[in-house]
Amino acid sequence: MTKLTSEQLSQMVKQRGIELGFDLIGIAPAQQPLTYRYYEQWLSRKFHGEMGYMERRKEERKDVRNLLPDAKAVIVGAINYFVPDECLPETSEPRGRVARYAWGMDYHEVLLRKLEALLDYLRALLGDWVKGKAYVDTGPILERDFAVQAGLGWFGKNTCLISPKLGSYLLLGELLVNVPLASDPPFNRSHCGKCTRCIEACPTGALVAPYQLDAKRCISYLTIELRGSIPRELRPLIGTWVFGCDICQEVCPWNRKAKPTREEAFKPRPWASLELLRLLELTEEEFRELFRHSPLKRTKRWGLIRNACVALGNLREVKAVPLLVQLLHNDPNPIVREHAAWALGRIATEEALNELRKALEVETDETVRQEIILSLNDARCP
């Protein structure tokens, strides 16, 4: 076989990536990420909140060669996951909103299979000496940095990667390889211009400045990553989001002509639009079965019910009162009881307030007791 040049290899890899289902694919050099110092500044400002893993593996993120010592190239693939709202089933029941990336099957599994197939292709082409490591959102790699270096797009003011061809509804995966592949030209220019729609639209003020996200205020963080109570002052701003948030992407002009995904795995599944009342009744077994192949399993049962309580409180949904009362009196998790109490205080029917008073007489968890007292006080002084 004629020896292939690095340019030829790169073209073959990218062609194979498209065949495997990536919408965009590019190659960056295996080196230190150019935005590492900004990442350090982000950590120093405590914008990562309770996401301790972002800091624990900080040193590894300095250079991808910490992950694969003889890495020569980073292959970055992106898949468009956009699905129009009209693809969701209509319903008369109050629904919780789920971020689009979680409407379909777990993207980690989908992208990892494609990256591993790409690694198999390289080994079949060049031999067993080829080594590689695939990452999808879980490894210590600054993936948007390498996506920019691979020419896929730029950092938007909402901190998402934006492609001029596809917008920002993109999921990223990286394959580090010890193969000397020719790199693509980096994407060196932002096309956000003077637009600040994403910053203005964020309900919680999480975008504290262009290109700067305080995750502690982000609805995605609050509904997925936060393992404790959602701060009281932020609960009314969450609306009906129960898993993630798309607001800063929905208002972005680059997504006006977003094209529907070609990936069947990302088409809506039953968990794309969740009946809020049904969520309150979920058992552990039902939760595990329903969300086994969904990104939503990350919240755990109690987290999803916590979020549903907040959404129903924001809707002031009277039909939820009996179910919220059951949670307030019987759920073993104090965080669920706390947020059920908050929702009952927001709904503030006579039944809801009476049940809060009853719970106050028997509740032993101090945080829940404080929530009941605050909710009763709020109901007296709307």
Structure tokens at 261: 């995904």
Q: Comparing C-alpha atoms, which of 88, 87, 84, 91 is closest to residue 276?
A: 91
Distances (CA, A) of 90 to 99, 219, 273, 274, 316: 17, 24, 9, 11, 21
CB 65: neighbour CB atoms within 10 A?
14
Rounded to whole angstroms, the Cα distance separating 183 from 6 reads 9
Strands (E), 45-160: 73-80, 95-98, 132-135, 154-155
Instruction: Pick left, alpha or beta for residue 49 (phi over 0 → left; psi -120 to 50 → alpha; otherwise beta).
Output: left
> Strand 95-98 and strand 241-243: pairing?
parallel
DSSP H or E run through 207: strand 207-209
Rounded to whole angstroms, the Cα distance separating 308 from 312 reads 6
**Gyration radius of the chain over CA positions:** 23
Among 137, 331, 365, 378, the one annotated catalytic: 137
Q: Based on the residue annotation, tell me whether 137 is a catalytic residue of this protein.
A: yes
Q: Comparing C-alpha atoms, which of 103, 168, 161, 106 is closest to residue 138?
A: 106
List the catalytic residues. 137
